């Protein structure tokens, strides 16, 4: 492999890992709640809190974010089908419960 291609590949891989947020790993959902225009996703099992939000869950989806409709649809599909779902988290955001919660920016459903 050409050294320039190798260096370009390595820089690209490093930049992607630098912007990627932590993930939850596969979880099952027990609730999808809509409140004040936001969607809150509650897993059946506890998840880690790598962002150190006030609460580790529920996970919040915000309608102005890219991919919101698709993430909401995927969440409803996972809940209805009993499939596992994984979340990638971006930041801690305000919740109606007086504490911050993690905000998802990507979702993946597993076939389990």
CATH no. for residue 53?
2.40.50
Q: How far apart are CA 42 and CA 35, in angstroms?
A: 13
Q: Is residue 3 part of a domain?
A: no
Q: Is the pLDDT of residue 111 over 60?
A: yes
DSSP E strands in the chain: the ranges are 29-35, 38-43, 59-61, 85-93, 101-109
Identify the residue with better confidence: 5 or 109. 109
Q: How many Cα atoms occupy the beta-carbon half-sphere of 59 within 13 Å?
A: 34
DSSP E strands in 10-69: the ranges are 29-35, 38-43, 59-61
pLDDT, residue 104, reads: 96
| Prediction pTM value | 0.78
Q: Is residue 33 part of a domain?
A: yes
* pLDDT tens track for 37-84: 999 999 998 898 999 999 999 999 999 999 999 999 999 999 999 999
pLDDT, residue 4, reads: 52
pLDDT, residue 6, reads: 40
Q: Is residue 4 part of a domain?
A: no
């Amino acid at each position: 492999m050409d050294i320039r291609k190798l260096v370009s590949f390595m820089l690209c891989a490093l930049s992607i890992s630098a912007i990627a947020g932590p993930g939850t790993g596969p979880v099952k959902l027990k609730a999808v709640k809509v409140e004040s225009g936001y969607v809150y996703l509650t897993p059946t099992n506890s998840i880690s809190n790598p962002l150190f939000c006030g609460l580790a869950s529920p996970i919040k989806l915000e309608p102005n974010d890219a991919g919101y409709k698709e993430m909401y649809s995927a969440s409803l599909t996972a809940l209805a089908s009993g499939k596992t779902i994984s979340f990638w988290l971006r930041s801690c955001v305000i919740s109606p419960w007086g504490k911050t919660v993690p905000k998802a920016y990507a979702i993946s459903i597993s076939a389990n």
